[in-house]
Amino acid sequence: MFQAQDRSLVVISTDVANILVSYRQLSDSSQESAGVLIGERRGVHIVIKTLTEPSRWDIRSRFMVDRVSKHHQKAVDNAFKKSNGEWHYLGEWHTHPEDEPKPSMTDYSSWHKNLKSSDPLILIIAGRTGFWVGKKINEQIEVLQSI
């Protein structure tokens, strides 16, 4: 569970956390992975219920991930339908080959360029030993504290 300065919470379900852990870049040759986050908005709080995983159509490399595959959008649409409109696109995740991950300049510029939403979006980077979790509200990105 993660908290913003305004005390709003981001809850990551156990299933989602386990999947993120399974994609950790533990060896030097393992690739960077990425996908989108899906779940519920409960007032100011956000519950991440599921995520999309890389498909073989995604371009994967160790330091760059291009989210080219349409299966991510399809998964968001299906989750929305199956949940009667409760589950939404909530943001993105990717992995880094470092223990305690920090966003790169490329991450910040791509988030600012590609993520347009009037609702807050969640950004997760899964490192080897820890997660970095941020929340983007308009052009501001706040780092959330693990609680």
Determine which one of 32, 40, 86, 98 is catalytic: 32
How many chain residues are in contact with Zn ion, going by CB under 5 A? 2
Q: Which residue has the closest beta carbon to Zn ion?
A: 107
CB 59, min distance to Zn ion, A: 15
Closer Cβ to Zn ion, 78 or 106, answer by number: 106
Query: CB-based contacts of 59: which residues, under 8 Å, 6+ apart?
Result: 65, 66, 68
Q: What are phi and psi of 125, to 5 degrees?
A: -120, 125
Q: What is the distance between the alpha carbons of residues 41 and 90, in angstroms, rounded to a whole number? A: 8
Is 100 one of the annotated active-site residues of the chain?
no
Question: What 3-state class would DSSP assign to 29?
Answer: coil
53 near Zn ion, rule: CB under 5 A:
no
Judged by CB under 5 A, the chain residues 90 through 119 that form the site for Zn ion are: 104, 107
The secondary element (H helix, E strand) that includes residue 113 is helix 105-114
> Would you please indicate which residues are annotated as catalytic (active-site) residues?
32
Residues binding Zn ion (CB under 5 A): 104, 107
